[in-house]
Amino acid sequence: MDEEEIKFILAFLLITMIFIGGVIEARKIITANAIKEQKEKEDYYNRLVDDCKCLEKNRAACSEGFVLSADGKMCKNEQKKVFTNILFSCSKYDCDGEINVYNNKTNGWEIENKQNE
């Protein structure tokens, strides 16, 4: 191999390593953002449970360790091969006149209206 081929190989390896490092760093950022977003959703829900009045119970939920089946009719634990009935948790909260409703399509909470004082 001549000197030019060695320089080309080294440049290629350097560029490849920089690219791989960038991909790894981007993955870390995406994962951190997803964790932060999930924590914010949990904090928001905990505030609803602690500080607001439940108006409706129409949101399908499952016990710990279970997930809702694809048809939404039962809860399943794949690991233990066990099924159980779904639970209905609060789907609508009144927080001092601000109505928070769970949207099944977006799997998130939305403010329905705000009463005038």
Whether 44 and 58 share a structural domain: no
33 pLDDT more than 50: yes
Contact 88, 76 (CB under 8 A): no
Percent of the chain surpassing pLDDT 70: 96
Task: Report pLDDT digits (tens) over 35-86.
Answer: 888 888 888 888 888 999 999 998 888 999 999 888 888 999 999 889 999 9
- Residue 113: Cβ within 10 Å count: 9
Mean pLDDT of the chain: 88
β-partners of residue 87 are: 61
Check if the beta carbon of residue 82 is closer than 8 Å to that of residue 64: no
User: Other C-beta atoms within 10 Å of 55: how many?
Assistant: 14
Let me know whether 82 and 114 are in one domain: yes
42 and 26 in one domain?
yes
Residues 76 and 111 in one domain: yes
Whether residue 115 is found in the same domain as residue 58: yes
In this prediction the pTM is: 0.58
- 57 and 47 belong to one structural domain: no
Measure Cα distances from 70 to 64, 76, 103, 105 in Å.
17, 10, 17, 14
The answer on 112 and 67 residing in a single domain is yes
Cα angle: 78, vertex 87, 37; to 5 degrees: 75
Q: Let me know whether 23 and 77 are in one domain.
A: no
- pLDDT over threshold 70, residue 115: no
Q: Is the same domain home to 110 and 86? A: yes
Res 117 pLDDT > 50? no
| Number of structural domains in the chain | 2
- Domain residues for 78? 53-117
- Residue pair 15/7 in contact (Cβ under 8 Å)? The answer is no
